[in-house]
Amino acid sequence: MTIPSLEIDLDKECSKCSEEGVTKSGLCLKCIAQVYKNRTIGYQVIQQAQVEICAMLEEYAEDIDKAYIKADNDLTIPISIKLGPTRIAGEVELIVASNFVKDRIKYKIKVVVDSKQKKLPGF
Ligand SMILES: [Zn+2]
């Protein structure tokens, strides 16, 4: 069993605030705490993901239809949503992507959403 541990290098300075003592990420504990504090997904992000997925399905409706006709059996359309922080607190980078076989259609859209507006119910 491995014991969770945290290494702090007291000789290095935090890349964000120049405070001495950093973890492997290059940030001090105070800055890491700040990152996690701002790590939230507002309802705006979910709404934007819905918009982007709908737009993608609309855009490729004809191709999806053709791919379905061509498919021997089922047609799977993988859709991925990737969420990541930006350098601005409260902003979330949203990437909606899909990649399915018809003529090897690849779709990818990247938007930045301000998550500070409304929180998800129960968050
Ligand atoms: Zn710091």
- What is the reported pLDDT for 82? 93
pTM: 0.56
User: Where are any strands of DSSP class E within the chain?
Assistant: 9-13, 20-22, 79-85, 91-100, 105-114
- Residue 122 Cα to ligand 1 midpoint, Å, equals 30
DSSP string, 74-91: -----EEEEEEE-SSTTE
Q: Which residues surround ligand 1, an ion (CB under 5 A)?
A: 14, 16-17, 19, 28, 31
20 Cα to the center of ligand 1, angstroms: 8
Domain boundaries, the chain: 1-38, 40-118
pLDDT for position 71: 81
pLDDT in 10s for each residue of the chain, 123 residues: 678 788 899 999 999 999 999 988 898 999 888 877 767 788 888 999 999 999 989 998 998 888 888 888 888 888 999 998 887 777 889 999 987 766 666 777 888 887 666 555 665
